[in-house]
Structure 1
Amino acid sequence: MSSPEIASISWGHMKVKGCTATYKDCKVWPGGSRAWDWRETGTDHVPGVQPADLEEILKKGVEILVIGRGMSEVLQVPSSTLDYVKQKGVDVKVFQTEKAVKEYNSLAGRGAKVGGVFHSTC
């Protein structure tokens, strides 16, 4: 299965190719996507992305994980979370969200087993 392209990104809105839903924050992986609901894991801008936010995607067999920190990069990504991903044997890349989407789409377009979590506001 291939990773779906992110069709569009703007403040508070993301569209994934092949999906009818519009997301505020989203998770994508080879073969799928869904809303990223921070309430599921108690995530907030600080301390930021938690390993629990990423487990679902890591279980999908991704080799690369892209994290979008928001349009103004307010969402934090603790070093402990990055270490967790690397311990799973997955390469991790962290960018401002628009740059993260560009990187994700580039990797997906080359057929990489890439997943991502993207915050589309602050």
Structure 2
Amino acid sequence: MPARIVTVVGARPQFIKAFALSRILGQRSDVEEILVHTGQHINWNMSDVFFTELGLQRPKYNLGIHGGGHGAMTGQMLCALEEVLLQENPAAIMVYGDTNSTLAGALAGAKCRVPVVHIEAGLRSHNRKMPEEVNRIVV
């Protein structure tokens, strides 16, 4: 039985980064990647175009969470991702970058005791006024 990895994406840079790694994971028989789209970027130019143009696998889960404040968005994502993790029982959850989707995925993994793989871990701007920098530090 292949190891399941839940990959969380939701913003434009994450789709591009996920494409490269998803292609490699898709060639392995010992890994099953489960793609989750949080919905953070919902319009064609920010989301769907990457699935079509890059040939990125369609998400198994599309959470459709967008808009509102950072806290509300992240909280909704955390709740929904917890349900996904409980249902899928993955070996790991993979998050990219510094978005609210990244933070919610990392928190869900920590709360559900699923190992978190953070692509871009350690990158910093050192500007704590930026919401993304807060996300980087917390993740």
Q: TM-score range by the shorter chain?
A: 0.3 to 0.5
Give the number of the structure whose residues are more often helix, by fraction. Answer: 2
**Higher RCO (CA 8 Å, separation ≥ 6 residues):** 1
Give the number of the structure whose residues are more often strand, by fraction. Answer: 1
Rg larger in structure: 2
* TM-score, reference length from structure 2: 0.35
* TM-score, reference length from structure 1: 0.39
